[in-house]
Amino acid sequence: MVSHCANPKCAKPLHYLREGRIFVFDVADRTGPDGKRSRRMEHYWLCGVCSQTMAMEQSATGVRVVMRPAARLRSEMASRGAALAS
């Protein structure tokens, strides 16, 4: 059950679904005693503030929080601008 923002730097408690974004991933469990792999759905929530600049991504190593492409570009441009201003 989802109880807080998936961003470890935020962890805002989930009280209402009216803000933020829910992500659902199909995840393979370990092989059971019968030799079959089971699957389950994992749910993640990013609060409204975090979901403006971040998303969830599934890879071979698991699910992680990533910067959204447009937010990543703005962040890189801002850091370059700060470096030039210094």
Q: Which amino acid is at 41?
A: M
Predicted local distance difference test score (pLDDT) of residue 39: 82
pTM equals 0.70
Strand partners, 45: 22
Using an 8 Å Cβ cutoff, are 47 and 6 in contact?
no
Mean pLDDT, each 10-residue run in order, the chain (86 residues): 91 89 86 74 93 91 87 60 48
